[in-house]
Structure 1
Amino acid sequence: MRTLRTVVLVTAPPLFLAVAGLTHPRHLTASTAAHWTALHVALLPAFPLLALGLLVPLWGRPSYDLDGALTVVAWAGCLGYAAYYSGLDAVAGISAGTIAGHGVHEAVGRLFSTGDELGRAGVYALTVAAIAAGTVLLRRHGVRVLPGAVVVLGACWSFLDSHIFWPRGVFTMFAFAVGFGLLSVAASGRSGRLTNP
Structure 2
Amino acid sequence: MRPIVAVAATAVPALALAVLGSSHPAVLTPESAPWWRDLHVIGLVLFPLLALGPWAVVHVSRPRGVAGWVLSTAAAVLGLVYAAFYGALDALAGIGGGHETMVLGPGPWVAALFGIADELGVYGSYAYLAASVLAAVLALVRAPGAWRLLAAVGALFAVVGAWSFLTSHIYYPYGVATMVMLAIGHTLLVIAAARRSRRADRRPHEPRRHAAAPLA
Tell me if both proteins adopt one fold, taking TM over 0.5 as the criterion.
Answer: yes
- Residue of structure 1 in register with 2:207 after alignment: none
Q: CA deviation at 1:99?
A: 0.6
1:94 paired to 2:95: yes
Q: CA deviation at 1:117?
A: 1.7
Q: CA deviation at 1:21?
A: 0.6
- Residue of structure 1 in register with 2:160 after alignment: 154
Q: Following TM superposition, where does structure 1 have runs of at least 4 consecutive aligned residues deviating by more than 4 angstroms?
A: 192-195
List per-residue Cα deviations over 1:92-147 (Å, max 9, x = no partner): 00011111112252110011111112221111001111122223223322534222
**In structure 2, do the counterparts of structure 1 residues 132 and 6 end up closer, same or farther at CA, with 3 Å as the change threshold?**
closer
**Conserved? CA contact 2:136–2:159, under 8 Å:** no
1:48, 1:150 → 2: CA distance?
A: 22
Letter in 2 for 1:123: S
- Residue of structure 1 in register with 2:20 after alignment: 20
**CA-atom RMSD in angstroms:** 2.3
Secondary structure of the residue aligned to 2:65 is coil
1:156, 1:192 → 2: CA distance?
A: 30
2:95, 2:22 → 1: CA distance?
A: 18
Letter in 2 for 1:169: G
1:33, 1:131 → 2: CA distance?
A: 35
Structure 2 unaligned blocks of 5 or more: 205-216
Q: Residue 111 of structure 2 is aligned with which of 109, 112, 128?
A: 109
- Residue of structure 1 in register with 2:3 after alignment: 3
List per-residue Cα deviations over 1:22-59 (Å, max 9, x = no partner): 11111001111111001111111100111111112233
- Residue of structure 1 in register with 2:179 after alignment: 173
**Conserved? CA contact 2:78–2:131, under 8 Å:** yes
- Residue of structure 2 in register with 1:188 after alignment: 194
Structure 1 unaligned blocks of 5 or more: none
**In structure 2, do the counterparts of structure 1 residues 110 and 9 end up closer, same or farther at CA, with 3 Å as the change threshold?**
same
**In structure 2, do the counterparts of structure 1 residues 193 and 132 end up closer, same or farther at CA, with 3 Å as the change threshold?**
farther
Q: Which has the larger radius of gyration?
A: 2
Number of residues of Structure 1 aligned to a counterpart in Structure 2: 195
1:193, 1:138 → 2: CA distance?
A: 17
- Residue of structure 2 in register with 1:49 after alignment: 49
**Conserved? CA contact 2:154–2:189, under 8 Å:** yes
User: What is the TM-score when the length of structure 2 is the normalising length?
Assistant: 0.82
Secondary structure of the residue aligned to 1:14 is helix
1:180, 1:29 → 2: CA distance?
A: 35
- Residue of structure 2 in register with 1:127 after alignment: 129
Sequence identity percentage:
41
1:134, 1:174 → 2: CA distance?
A: 17
